[in-house]
């Protein structure tokens, strides 16, 4: 039977008893900093637990490591102490253990509502190192910064490349970042650009928090490296691409990065992540012996980046990636770091580097997503090349367990209270963005919709389900098992449909990019003057059609969307053919295709989808549509009907 | 008449009353760390002076900044406190002032013979940044690492290029350095070399110790930057050239540097260096406004590197350079560092980069001196391409005043063989 806490934990929560991540917080603004672990919507104050003498194992009895303002002293104690603390806390918080459960006074003292806790940096970071461990990111950066002829540098496959970052400017999630000023590449013979960065970017990273570490001159064996990693956090390595591009030769990134790095407040331990360990990618060439691991592990952590522009109500998901996309493991990174004798200290931070995946919507920064600003993203209709003032960038990371999550919370300029609502909404976002189906969050049924990235089967029926109704605040209701099962099954179907929609949506957004590209004069010229360019474009479009073909049409909505996008791609092919066939003096004709008559402009496409949706709704009728939406999409299609 | 201390100071000493550099020391191996200033052959224990209530100016009365194990708290107080401390100490140590001179008990408690004091790192270094500010070094490195056709990169003349270094492996002069192991360039199609570095080098540098610093998101004006620099130390940025050459594309030096960086124990204040200020080189192109100084200063500090091979009785001078060879000033470095809003904290270290001069015997590292090992040096007859196990590398730095020196002492370290 699964471990369960006496504290009610919503099934969507990132912080069940299986997680217990460590952080530092102030229970009140003027209070001194305490150490704590997250449990559901609460923070357990470890200083109170320590003072009550409840850390009674051999490693921690009498230790003052939880009476500090940072975790450094606890980190220095190493894995045996970490395991002991975890066992003690899991026991103390479990539903069957009366010590804390039945002690109202201690509960009152030690359990602080998360909404009241102000999180601060959990460790004093002596040194911060940033690696470069995603092959996809390395490849894309090589092309963008050094041209299409640049392969990944040859050293990349032999060692986990890294540089030293700035420790002083690491801030906790929620801290505002001021747009940096600096120099950018000069245009021609003029002096360099100077002013606010024009290419401010995020980088989706995670970071390992170092435990005991090593003495100067000593090394840490790669097979023992895991004992020196306490846990992981989400990290946003904010980057000013224009500053970086101008300054980074020959000594690497400096002011393009040092203006701020945001980490999430909760350190999720490797012990909590262990159930989500997966095989690391095969490395070819085989690494040198000091980097060869007996057991090479990654972790299956779904990562997501959202941007919420100033003034917009909703954030848009711009990236879905996964920690397992890393080529070099964190243990290899740590062992490599010490191979020259460099000393690591408790609390040091090892960033993974930007975690890009292979798919176009799994790229970990705007530099890659917009291809250095050439292909803007659409954030609910607002184009975005790089970050604008007022943009909020929100990272989330979560492992899906069997009926529970092990999550990282967020790494953002957004408070945790808002997070839950954001999460609930985000689960539907990809579908909504594509289909423009309206929804109302007031009746959101969110209970299993967290599994967007998960291939795991739906959670088994349980005796009770928590269903947020009207508000995102979880309320426990008890359902008969068969009804619960039906709800779970319908949710699972909806998840499958959403995943298929996501695939179609990805093709559609790729078509958006290609359309923008085709609209550019340079592209028209190059397609006209170079048959290879035309061939390349046609091949790209053909690949999109093949991708669409591979989406199974298991449901009329999916089929309709697939047909619509296929048609669109075919029409783009025709345009490309038209461009290459047109005479030089036929410029006007050619661009006429994009004019008001053309059905392929962005506005017309949106309109076409909207018409399709309206037809769909009308065909199905009000109550039928509502039932359909509730069953397959997990929300009621109220908005459209209210609008009519 | 020149300022004179009641303590006998040899004319060749680096530490007359005009200097008074700050450090941290243990009077005995088991004793807690104290803060002190060097005076002749003695260290003045500042905790004793503070406890005696002799820091009686408005900035320092009642402050516990000299009862700490590092100077960080004192550094955070800023220039007015530094000036007050200097005035107090110069008065206290002067030949004409009886307070300490005639108090045998306090003299006994507060003056520790330098030979007995074990020096430790004087500051807790939060972040360490290394610049690349000598044009001669930049040019030579460009040619050696990237070929004879490589000019200095175009950005070099527009901004003081830098990278973040490793703070944890900064050690005090006298600490042995273990030869690092690592990967080097593969020969042809074979896997990369792995083993002890075959091209271990020193780099002759100095470093600025940051004072109050700035908040994240704020900047420091280049004309106020000097108020955020407490003083300078000598620094040896040990480098493994083979590791560096293989790893540094595209993110810069990492393991080729992070195995150790040695600094001298005494921080010589900018106030003590002021008599040795000189004009900085003319900069062409003219720097952008945020780097343009009303009054651009270098300091005339002569620098020397000696190598003492294991078993040899004498060391050989291999380089004579000067701090004034720097193209970018330390104040420009500091202002540039904050222009993006990056916060500097008290105790941060800003390395100048290797200080090479124009002459062949003023090059600041073996990479340049031996032209990447192609032209071995002779150390009293022993050829030397790169550092060998047992070599001791000794830096000295000194300003020559009228009848006195303002010196940095030495910054020394010995190379130990790699493990296994």
The CATH code for residues A482-578 is 1.20.58.120
B183 contacts in chain A (CB < 8 Å): 155, 158-159, 288
Per residue in A243-270, pLDDT (tens digit) is: 999 999 899 999 999 999 999 999 999 9
The pLDDT of residue A615 is 52
**The domain A22-120 is classified under which CATH number: 2.30.30.230, 3.30.360.10, 1.10.10.10, 3.10.580.10?**
2.30.30.230
A337 in reach of chain B (CB within 8 A): yes
- pLDDT band for position B143 (cuts 50, 70, 90): confident
Q: Which residues of B192-217 are buried (b: 16+ CB within 10 A; e: fewer)?
A: bbbebbebbbbbbbbbbbbbbbbebb
Selected for mutation to probe chain B from A194, A221, A254, A340 (highest B CB count within 10 Å) is A340
Per residue in B364-383, pLDDT (tens digit) is: 999 999 999 999 999 999 99
- In chain A, CATH 1.20.58.120 covers 482-578
A212 in reach of chain B (CB within 8 A): no
A246 contacts in chain B (CB < 8 Å): 155, 159
Is A432's pLDDT higher than 60? no
A536 in reach of chain B (CB within 8 A): no
- In chain A, positions 258-297, which contact chain B (CB-CB < 8 Å)? 258-260, 285, 288-290
Give the number of beta-carbon pairs within 8 Å between A and B: 201
The pLDDT of residue B195 is 97
B285 contacts in chain A (CB < 8 Å): 191
- Bridge partners for A307 per DSSP: A316, A393
Q: How far is B167 from chain A (nearest CA, A)?
A: 6
B287 in reach of chain A (CB within 8 A): no
B285 in reach of chain A (CB within 8 A): yes
The pLDDT of residue A639 is 36
- pLDDT band for position A611 (cuts 50, 70, 90): low
Give the active site residue among A136, A137, A228, A453: A137
Per residue in A5-44, pLDDT (tens digit) is: 999 999 999 999 999 999 999 999 999 999 999 999 999 9
Selected for mutation to probe chain B from A137, A246, A251 (highest B CB count within 10 Å) is A251
The pLDDT of residue A481 is 66
B216 in reach of chain A (CB within 8 A): yes
The pLDDT of residue A608 is 44
Are B247 and A345 inside 8 Å of each other by CB? Answer: no
B290 in reach of chain A (CB within 8 A): yes
B223-239 mean pLDDT: 98
Is A520's pLDDT higher than 90? no
Residue A220 CA, chain-centre distance (Å), reads: 30
A240 contacts in chain B (CB < 8 Å): 340
- In chain A, CATH 3.90.850.10 covers 128-184+194-416
The pLDDT of residue B27 is 96
Per residue in A521-540, pLDDT (tens digit) is: 777 778 878 877 888 888 88
Is A433's pLDDT higher than 70? no
**CA angle, B37 then B42 then B46, to 5°:** 35
The pLDDT of residue A527 is 80
Give the active site residue among B14, B136, B137, B337: B137
The pLDDT of residue A427 is 30
Average pLDDT, chain B: 96
The pLDDT of residue A479 is 59
The pLDDT of residue B92 is 98
**The domain A128-184+194-416 is classified under which CATH number: 3.10.180.10, 3.40.190.10, 3.90.850.10, 3.30.830.10?**
3.90.850.10
Residue of B158, B251, B340 with shortest CB distance to A252: B251
This prediction has a pTM of: 0.79
Are A343 and B165 inside 8 Å of each other by CB? Answer: no
- pLDDT band for position A499 (cuts 50, 70, 90): confident
Per residue in B17-74, pLDDT (tens digit) is: 999 999 999 999 999 999 999 999 999 999 999 999 999 999 999 999 999 999 999 9
The percent of residues above 90 in pLDDT, for chain B, comes to 94
Nearest CA in chain A to B177: A217
Instruction: Decide which of A355 and A460 is more confident.
Output: A355
Average pLDDT, chain A: 81
Is A415's pLDDT higher than 60? no
Is A76's pLDDT higher than 60? yes
Per residue in A536-569, pLDDT (tens digit) is: 888 888 888 888 877 777 777 777 788 888 888 8
- In chain A, CATH 2.30.30.230 covers 22-120
A483-504 mean pLDDT: 72
């Amino acid at each position: 039977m699964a471990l369960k806490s006496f504290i009610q934990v919503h099934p969507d929560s990132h912080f069940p008893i299986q997680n217990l991540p460590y952080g530092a917080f102030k229970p009140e603004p003027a209070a001194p900093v305490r150490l704590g672990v997250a449990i559901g919507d609460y923070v357990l104050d470890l200083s109170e637990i320590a003072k009550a003498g409840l850390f009674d194992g051999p490693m921690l009895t009498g230790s003052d490591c939880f009476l500090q303002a940072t975790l450094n002293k606890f980190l220095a104690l190493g894995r045996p102490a970490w395991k002991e603390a975890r066992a003690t806390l899991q026991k103390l918080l479990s539903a069957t253990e009366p010590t804390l459960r039945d002690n109202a006074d201690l509960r009152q003292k030690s359990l602080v509502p998360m909404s009241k806790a102000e999180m601060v940096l959990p460790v004093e970071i002596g040194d911060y190192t940033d690696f470069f461990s995603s092959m996809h990111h390395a490849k894309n950066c090589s092309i963008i910064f050094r041209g299409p002829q640049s392969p990944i540098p040859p050293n990349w496959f032999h060692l986990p490349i890294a540089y030293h970052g700035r420790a002083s400017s690491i801030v906790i999630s929620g801290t505002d970042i001021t747009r940096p000023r600096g120099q950018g590449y000069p245009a021609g013979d003029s002096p360099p650009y100077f002013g606010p960065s024009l290419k401010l970017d995020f980088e989706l990273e995670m970071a390992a928090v170092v435990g005991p570490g090593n003495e100067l001159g000593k090394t840490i064996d790669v097979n023992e490296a895991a004992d020196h990693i306490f846990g992981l956090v989400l990290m946003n390595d904010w980057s000013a691409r224009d500053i970086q591009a101008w300054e980074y030769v020959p000594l690497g990134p400096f002011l393009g990065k040092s203006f701020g790095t945001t980490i999430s407040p909760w350190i999720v331990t490797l012990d909590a992540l262990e159930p989500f360990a997966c095989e690391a990618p095969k490395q070819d060439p085989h690494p040198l012996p000091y980097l060869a691991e007996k057991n090479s592990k990654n972790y299956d952590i779904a990562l997501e980046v959202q941007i919420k522009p100033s003034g917009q109500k909703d954030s848009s998901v711009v990236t879905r990636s996964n920690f397992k996309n890393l080529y070099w493991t964190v243990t290899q990174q740590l062992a490599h770091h010490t191979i020259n004798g460099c000393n690591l200290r408790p609390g040091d931070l090892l960033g993974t580097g930007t975690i890009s995946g292979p798919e176009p919507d799994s790229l970990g920064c705007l530099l890659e997503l917009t291809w250095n600003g050439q292909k803007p993203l659409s954030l609910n209709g607002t184009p975005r090349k790089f970050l604008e003032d007022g943009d909020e960038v929100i990272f989330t990371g979560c492992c899906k367990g069997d009926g529970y999550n092990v999550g990282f919370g967020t790494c953002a300029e957004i408070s945790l209270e808002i997070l839950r609502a954001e999460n609930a909404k985000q689960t539907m976002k990809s579908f909504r963005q594509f289909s423009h189906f309206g929804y109302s969050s007031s009746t959101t049924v969110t209970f299993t919709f967290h599994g967007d990235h998960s291939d795991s089967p739906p959670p088994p029926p349980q005796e009770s389900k928590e269903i947020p109704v009207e508000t995102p605040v979880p309320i426990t209701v008890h359902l008969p098992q068969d009804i619960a099962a039906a709800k779970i099954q319908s949710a699972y179907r909806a998840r499958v449909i959403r995943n298929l929609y996501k695939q179609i949506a990805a093709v559609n957004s790729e078509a958006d990019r290609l359309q923008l590209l085709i609209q550019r004069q340079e592209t028209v010229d190059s397609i006209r003057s170079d048959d290879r360019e035309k061939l390349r474009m046609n091949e790209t479009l053909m690949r999109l059609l093949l991708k669409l073909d591979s989406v199974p049409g298991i449901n009329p909505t999916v089929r309709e969307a697939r047909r619509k996008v296929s048609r669109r791609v075919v029409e783009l092919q025709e345009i490309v053919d038209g461009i290459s066939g047109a005479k030089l003096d036929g410029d006007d004709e050619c661009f006429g295709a994009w004019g008001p008559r053309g059905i392929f402009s962005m506005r017309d496409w949106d309109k076409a989808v909207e018409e399709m949706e309206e037809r769909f709704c009308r065909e199905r009728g009000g109550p039928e549509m509502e039932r359909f939406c509730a069953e397959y999409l997990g929300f009621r299609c109220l908005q459209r009907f209210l609008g009519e | 008449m020149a300022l004179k201390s009641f303590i006998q100071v040899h004319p060749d000493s680096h530490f007359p009353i005009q200097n008074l550099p700050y450090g941290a020391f243990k009077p005995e191996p088991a004793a807690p760390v104290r803060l002190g200033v060097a005076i002749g052959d003695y260290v003045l224990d500042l905790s004793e002076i503070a406890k005696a209530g002799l820091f009686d100016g408005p900035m320092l009365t009642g402050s516990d900044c000299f009862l700490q194990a590092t100077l960080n708290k004192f550094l955070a107080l800023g220039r007015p406190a530094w000036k007050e401390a200097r005035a107090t100490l110069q008065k206290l140590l002067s030949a004409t002032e009886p307070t300490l001179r005639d108090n045998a008990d306090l003299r006994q408690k507060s003056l520790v013979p330098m030979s007995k004091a074990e020096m430790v790192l004087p500051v807790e270094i939060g972040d360490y940044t290394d610049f690349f500010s000598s044009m001669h070094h930049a040019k030579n490195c460009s040619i050696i690492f990237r070929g004879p056709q490589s000019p200095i990169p175009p950005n070099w003349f527009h901004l003081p290029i830098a990278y973040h270094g490793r703070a944890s492996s900064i050690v005090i002069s006298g600490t042995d350095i273990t030869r690092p192991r690592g990967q080097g360039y593969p020969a042809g199609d074979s896997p990369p070399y792995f083993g002890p570095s075959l091209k271990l080098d020193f780099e002759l540098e100095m470093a600025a110790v940051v004072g109050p610093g700035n908040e994240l998101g704020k900047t420091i004006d280049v004309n106020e930057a000097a108020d955020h620099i407490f003083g300078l130390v000598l620094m040896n940025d040990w480098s493994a050239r083979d590791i560096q050459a293989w790893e540094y594309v595209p993110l810069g030096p990492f393991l080729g540097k992070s195995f150790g960086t040695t600094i001298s124990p005494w921080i010589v204040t900018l106030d003590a260096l002021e008599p040795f200020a000189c004009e900085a080189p003319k900069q062409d192109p003219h720097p952008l406004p945020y780097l343009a100084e009303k009054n651009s200063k270098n300091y005339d500090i002569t620098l020397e590197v000696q190598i003492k091979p294991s078993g040899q009785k004498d060391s050989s001078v291999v380089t004579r350079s000067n701090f004034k060879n720097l193209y970018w000033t330390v104040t420009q470095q500091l202002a540039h560092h904050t222009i993006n809003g990056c916060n500097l904290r008290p105790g941060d270290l800003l390395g100048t980069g290797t200080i090479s001069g124009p002459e062949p015997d003023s090059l600041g590292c073996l990479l340049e001196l031996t032209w990447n090992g192609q032209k071995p040096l002779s150390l009293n007859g022993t050829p030397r391409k790169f550092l060998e196990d047992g070599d001791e590398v000794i830096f000295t730095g000194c300003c020559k005043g009228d009848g006195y020196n303002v010196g940095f002492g030495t910054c020394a370290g010995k190379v130990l063989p790699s493990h296994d």
